[in-house]
Structure 1
Amino acid sequence: MPLQKGKNNCITDVEGVQVGHVTLYEKINNEDTVCTGVTAILPHSGNLFTEKVHAASYVINGYGKSTGLIQLNELGLIESPIMLTNTFSVGPVLEGTLRYMLEQNKEIGESAGTINIVVGECNDSYLNSMRIQALKPEHAMEAINKASTGVAEEGAVGAGKGMMCFGYKGGIGTASRIVTAANQKYTVGCLINSNFGQRDQALFANFPKLEIKTPDGSIMMIIATDAPLYDRQLERLAKHTAAGLARTGSNISHGSGDIAIAFSTANKIHHNANEHTESMTYIRDSHKVMNQLFQAVIETTEEAIINSLKNAKTTEGKRGRVVEKAPIPQE
């Protein structure tokens, strides 16, 4: 039985989670068009370095150029915004996010050591003149500053501006679900950047076939929850995005970067704590609510992908290439 959707069916239904986009679109000449952007996901509105949250990532297929995943999985913590962009803009987005965090925390690089910045990417070079490298560090900072707990915009926005999915216009999609245990309600939210698949692979629609030469593509999947989970359990949630991805028809191609990051807002880890022990409450692995959380991840991943198609719009990119909006009716 499907789970109940969150109030806004959005990752920001998880209390405190914020999303911000910066979108760049400009036709430079007959050959080149800037058609790209950056998206920021903030686990909470406080200082992410001094109040870290439990997190984990899972690489389904590793044809990707993300940063920060090694330390994320080693320590099980997120201490910066999660940033999404195109493949050639990982560097400037990382720099901008680092600048933002350094401004917020004067001790980083001095008394507090370094900071781990997490940036995920997809290849938008079919529509975007990616070699121009139009995104600058300031755009990453702007996306973070724009982040809010309101309903996140979907489709051809932010990091999703130049993305494709199943031969149609893809991009940013989001969804949420509610699970219940012992009269306690928990929310699971998902935000994705879709950039994968051919039309004849889609399982949720009978799309007309179209032969165009595009990269294999990728998808970034971000899972947020307020359920009290720690990093090993969050890795289990991240793994279940693969089932939601498969439901849509993805073959997880050779050249595809299919990467999931999951975090919980329930227990914050204070950077400056002096105690040598840490205590937390977490859900028992054997409790039946874990299966509901897995189901919520699968359902939200699948729906977020479809929503990225529903809410995109026909877009013209470089060399006059046009990618159409998918013929999926709004509910």
Structure 2
Amino acid sequence: MHTPGTPTRARALGLGVGGLPTGPYNALTDVPGVRVGHTTLVDPPRVHSGVTAIVPDGVGPESPLPAGVFVGNGYGKLLGSTQVAELGTLETPVLLTSTLSAFRAADALVGWLLERPETAGARSLNPVVGECNDGLLSDIRSRPVREEHVRAALTGASAGPVAEGCVGGGTGLTALGFKAGIGTSSRRLALADGPVTLGVLVQANFGGTLRVAGRTVTPADVGLPDPRPVPDDGSCMIVAATDAPLDARQLTRLARRAVYALARSGAAYAHGSGDYALAFATRPADPRALPDTALDPLFVAVLDAVEEAVLDSLLTATTTTGPHGDTRHALPATELLALLGG
């Protein structure tokens, strides 16, 4: 039973997506060798910001992982993405933060990596940093994310449960008319050569009209003030990981489906939206990659996981008021279930 006013994940409310089982945490960290850390910066009402670090074990310029990237709408900044697209490899952890803090975060990531023994001979690094604009609910021009915050997220990354909602790079974000933030989900599935796990993490900040279980949901539908009309733009950064033996081209196909999944949640893909997905495999490049005919279950898994992660980002968020008096309300679970007839 849900306690009114308590942030609750979608699956706990009976709103899990699809028929595939999840991993033990229903999170990106269910993929072996993937850790997640957050640094959250809150000084209300002026600052609601932060940084999220996704850290694959052992990743580095001498031990890159196969990766692919897909851009649904390119009004945004995914630093390092052109090299990922060109070479099909990821050689650093991935950071997610606020738009104007992305460049400082990239510099901090490079500094952190250069101090590590395994990069002693490195003369080039390709830091990968994504961003969403938290300027509605945070003083974005102050660029509050600093080097020590990035380092804390990287060194604090763990393989356990992943905090969601108003944490890290999701602290000041809004999506689909509601307060949003970080969401995550995973799926376990059996392929011909054995069981594999796929996990996703979303940084949700995009426009459109929320859809849950096939029904549109506006703030007014669940008893909240409706902030519209508001610009139907924003962004979403999606990171997907799997321990399936995929090559870069196949991971690009997986990333493409991750962006497609936002449509299930009601994304508008507007002119001013940056809709990106990065997918990587935790195994080094493997010439025995799966045949393309075996990818369909992974496509289903990423579609379902992204849709559920977006819903989690809304249900686990908390109502927030920004420095200019703008308020975005969290999606209330009790009223949502009543609307859906649950």
With structure 2 as the length reference, what TM-score do the two structures score? 0.86
Match of 2:89 in 1: 77
Q: Partner letter of residue 132 of structure 1?
A: S
Match of 2:158 in 1: 148
2:103 pairs with one of 63, 88, 91: 91
Q: CA deviation at 1:105?
A: 4.3
Q: Partner letter of residue 152 of structure 2?
A: E
Distance 1:252 1:236 in 2: 19
Match of 2:281 in 1: 264
State the Cα RMSD in Å.
1.8
Q: How does 1:170-185 map to 2 (within 5 A)?
A: 170-182=180-192, 184-185=194-195
Match of 1:24 in 2: 41
Which stretch shows the higher mean deviation, 227-236 or 179-188? 179-188
Q: How does 1:281-320 map to 2 (within 5 A)?
A: 281-287=288-294, 290-320=295-325
Q: Which runs of 4+ in 1 moved over 3 A?
A: 105-108, 212-215
Q: CA deviation at 1:106?
A: 7.0
Distance 2:230 2:251 in 1: 36
2:146 pairs with one of 118, 121, 136: 136
Distance 2:39 2:175 in 1: 20
Q: CA deviation at 1:7?
A: 1.6
Match of 2:173 in 1: 163
Report the 3-state secondary structure (helix = DSSP H, G, I; strand = E; otherwise coil) of the residue aligned with 2:130.
strand
| Aligned residue pair count | 310
Match of 1:280 in 2: 287
Residue by residue, what CA displacement relative to the aligned partner does 1:74-105 show, whole Å, maximum 9, x if unpaired? 11111111000011001110011011001014
1:254 pairs with one of 253, 271, 274: 271
Do the aligned partners of 1:94 and 1:137 also contact (CA within 8 Å) in 2? Answer: no
Does residue 222 of the first structure (1) align with residue 239 of the second (2)? yes
Structure 2 residue runs of 5 or longer lacking an equivalent are 1-17, 221-225, 338-342
Residue by residue, what CA displacement relative to the aligned partner does 1:266-323 show, whole Å, maximum 9, x if unpaired? 226xxxxxxxxxx632111123xx1000000100110000000011111122123221
Q: CA deviation at 1:137?
A: 1.7
With structure 1 as the length reference, what TM-score do the two structures score? 0.89
Q: Partner letter of residue 174 of structure 1?
A: T
1:36 pairs with one of 45, 49, 72: 49
1:202 pairs with one of 210, 216, 222: 210
Q: How does 1:106-121 map to 2 (within 5 A)?
A: 107=119, 111-121=121-131
Match of 2:197 in 1: 187
Distance 2:107 2:167 in 1: 21
Do the aligned partners of 2:259 and 2:276 also contact (CA within 8 Å) in 1? Answer: no
Do the aligned partners of 1:12 and 1:150 also contact (CA within 8 Å) in 2? Answer: yes
Q: CA deviation at 1:145?
A: 0.6
Distance 1:131 1:266 in 2: 39
Q: 1:304 to 1:139 in 2, by over 3 A?
A: same
Q: CA deviation at 1:215?
A: 6.7
Q: CA deviation at 1:229?
A: 0.3
